[in-house]
Amino acid sequence: MEGTVDGFRYGAVTPVAAYSMACLGGALGLRCIVRSLINEQSWKPGWLALGATSVGCGIWTMHFIAMIGFQVEETRIRYDTSLTVLSLIVAILVVGVGVFIVGYRGAGAASLTLAGVITGLGVAAMHYLGMAAMRLNGDIRYHAITVGLSILIAIAAATAALWAAVSVRGFLMSLGASLVMGVAVSGMHYTGMAAVNVHLHSSAGAWSGDSPTSLLLPMLLGPIVFLLLAGVVVMFDPLLILGDGDWNRRAEQGSAHRETATRGTVKSGPPQARP
């Protein structure tokens, strides 16, 4: 018996909230990566790690907020805690690999392709690990072609996001890139969900189970708080407050002042004693 699958239990609420979290994680990640590239004096590994964690948390949070709106009418759904946590770890680690590749090797064709494929496969792995964490009175089956399409979308989205991270400098451009990234990541998620079919077990084996929100909401709290704290760090960074142009001008002015002072000291020399 086939189950009745509905991915929009709460209408547009969960898709809009999920998209917003994907955009937030993408925007923070892009700004952290840009921050590490513009100012070479900054601690690059720290900014890249913060960016990767922001993107990973944003994607993971997007997925599970969207899953709050997913239901199979004939059975309740719950989630395995270990697999759910593992999917978050995979998202952060694999996104981190891609971010560090482009952060240190730039946006050359070879490095960008490698980083995009790795990150895209990681995003897809996070998605399907999250799906594997579902427990319900039935078996989840997938349409292979649609699954393949979702993986291709994930790779394309990851490649575009990483290219934007090392190519886009202005704040407004980064914001626009994060909005596009949110569309791509959400599109990957809902394409993957379109591949889902649920084959129910006999009604005699049905169980009531807990509401998905009983596990997902507490688990979502941590990544959401992290994203908010990362937002505070980014917003109070001088690079973002001043803007890229002002930051560069002030750095150049400071360098010019130091060079002038040094020349003045050399020209004046030590005071000469009077005879």
Is residue 27 scored above 70 in pLDDT? yes
Is residue 16 scored above 90 in pLDDT? yes
Kindly state the percentage of the chain with pLDDT values over 90: 16
CA 100 – CA 113 distance, rounded (Å): 13
pLDDT tens-digit map of 146-201:
999 999 998 998 888 888 777 776 667 777 778 888 888 898 999 999 989 888 87
Question: Given this model, what pLDDT does residue 182 score?
Answer: 86
Question: Given this model, what pLDDT does residue 212 score?
Answer: 59
pTM: 0.79
**Under 8 Å CB-to-CB from 4, ≥6 apart: which residues?**
72, 73, 74
In contact, 161 and 118? CB cutoff 8 Å:
no
Question: Given this model, what pLDDT does residue 248 score?
Answer: 46
Higher pLDDT, 5 or 143: 143
* Domains of the chain by residue range: 5-264
Question: Given this model, what pLDDT does residue 151 score?
Answer: 93
